[in-house]
Structure 1
Amino acid sequence: MTQPRKRTVILISGRGSNMTALIEAADDSAFPAEIVGVISDKAEAGGLQLAAAKGIATRVVSRGDFPDKAAHDAAIDAAIAEFDAEIVCLAGYMRLLTTGLVEKWQGRMINIHPALLPSLKGLDTHRRALETGLRIHGCTVHFVTTAMDEGPIIAQSAVPVLVADDEQALSARVLKAEHALYPMALRLVAEGKARMEGGRTVFEDFEAPGHNGLITSPGPSNDPVDLEALARFTP
């Protein structure tokens, strides 16, 4: 018997490129999550028009309309409730959430971060990767917890840092990886194959094809590879 698709809401603050990747994945009726709404804290967020064009309901909950952060997050939570959401995806939502909201959705709220956590938490990850001299960079999907960028990791994608890279080139390479990784991670959560338990991610009824970790190739195809192959990769 086919399980109902998980009702999923996406929070954005900007252009919504990861939002678009999730929406496109969910266009397939076999995908286990259905995108039922997009919420933004900024009325000018470009992703709102993209979502509306796909027939997805949108809401704007502007920070300036509320006296403080707690009131704003309460309104965000009310908007999520309007959609009867089961999963929340942060996709370029550029505000830290209050403890109360995070704890309410813990285990059902996920985020994508443009670095291989636990390294490079916070902002400006591509610039910092170049300044540090990293040869491998990437992105991470994780469960959201009260500590910024410290939630249990669901999946990661690695890309090479090329000698000729500048911040723009590296950012574009990581963004391509993000667009492949986020739908894969949402699928695992929606299917119940990845869940948060005891402060870590537990995988159940899941077999990784041909490798032991959730990682995607540093090559352009983003095909899965094993960790040994990644270690041997030379840009």
Structure 2
Amino acid sequence: MPPPDRRLRVVVLVSGSGTNLQALLDAAADPSYGATVVAVGADRAGIEGLARAERAGVPTFVHRVKDFESREAWDSALTASVAGFEPDLVVSAGFLKLVGESFLATFGGRFLNTHPALSPSFPGMHGPAEALEYGVKVTGCTLFVVDTGVDTGPIVAQTAVPVLDGDTPESLHERIKQTERLMLVEAVGRIARDGFTVDGRVVRFGPAVP
């Protein structure tokens, strides 16, 4: 984490419309938030997430998997580009690619992602639909530290979202996404102001305890 007199440097990775990114950009416009988005990376060109960054004057970069001879080469290039901005924290905001060993070796413990369910329930791409199919009455969203699994990392924050009568996967997911943005902004702000530590599977806000 940065020293008290410096704002937390955040690189955000996107693959689509970038609504979570926009929430972070809006929050970071207030100096008291404590964090600033220093770059936005993507795995595809021409997306709204990149346009949001460019409108905010934030540098961007794109690495498409198909432009590299191997997934490992793509991962190494992504790692180098992110590292060039010297981030304290990396946030996956709808980034639809799994990073590899090089990325996790460099940014492990400070790479965050969100999931539209209350982990460890319903991992993977279809959390809202699977929650409805299972018949749960409460689902939600999770912010976690990325590890080598799929939505399995230590949990930073969670927020519950009730399942309503008549919900569809789309309507439920939309309410989850609205809650997710608030959760992400609040958690990154706390990390910027207070720091955080990861001890096994337990994440605590605040400085490390000796």
TM-score calculated relative to the size of structure 1? 0.83
Q: Give 1:106's match in structure 2, choosing from 91, 108, 131.
A: 108
| Contact 2:39–2:60 under 8 Å retained in 1 | yes
Cα 1:23–1:140 shift into 2, 3 Å: same
Q: Aligned match of 2:72 in 58, 66, 70?
A: 70
> Counterpart of 2:153 in structure 1: which amino acid?
G
CA contact (8 A) 1:121 1:149 kept: yes
User: Following the alignment from structure 1 to structure 2, what is the Cα–Cα distance between the partners of residues 179 and 202?
Assistant: 20
Whether the aligned pair in 1 keeps the contact of 2:18 and 2:48 (CA below 8 Å) is yes
Q: Per the alignment, in what secondary structure is the counterpart of residue 30 of structure 1? A: helix
Q: Is the 8 A contact 1:13 1:92 kept in 2?
A: yes
Indicate conservation of the 8 Å contact 1:10/1:39, yes or no.
yes
What code does the residue aligned with 2:158 have? Q
**Structure 2: distance between partners of 1:10 and 1:204:** 22
Query: Aligned with 1:64: secondary structure?
Result: helix
The 4+ residue runs of structure 1 with deviation greater than 6 A are none
Match of 1:34 in 2: 36
> Could you tell me how far apart the structure 2 residues matched to 1:198 and 1:146 are?
14
Alignment partner of 1:160 is 2:162: yes
Partner of residue 53 from structure 1, selected from 49, 55, 58? 55
Instruction: Give the TM-score, by structure 2 length.
Output: 0.92
Matched residues in 1 for 2:139 and 2:72: separation? 35
Q: How well do the aligned residues superpose, as a CA RMSD in angstroms?
A: 1.5
Cα distance between partner residues in 2 of 1:78 and 1:194: 24
CA distance in structure 1 between the aligned counterparts of 2:18 and 2:154, rounded to whole angstroms: 24
Structure 2: runs of 5+ lacking an equivalent: none
CA shift at 1:113, angstroms?
Answer: 0.8
SS in 2 for 1:111: strand
Identity of aligned residues (%): 36
Per-residue CA distance 1:27-60 (angstroms, 9 max, x = gap): 1111121101000010132210011011111111
- Look up the equivalent residue of 1:149 and give its one-letter code: D
Indicate the structure whose relative CO is greater, using CA pairs within 8 Å and at least 6 residues apart. Answer: 2
Contact 1:6 1:86 in 2 (8 A): yes
8 A contact 2:155–2:201 mirrored in 1: no
Aligned-partner residue type, residue 110 of structure 1: L
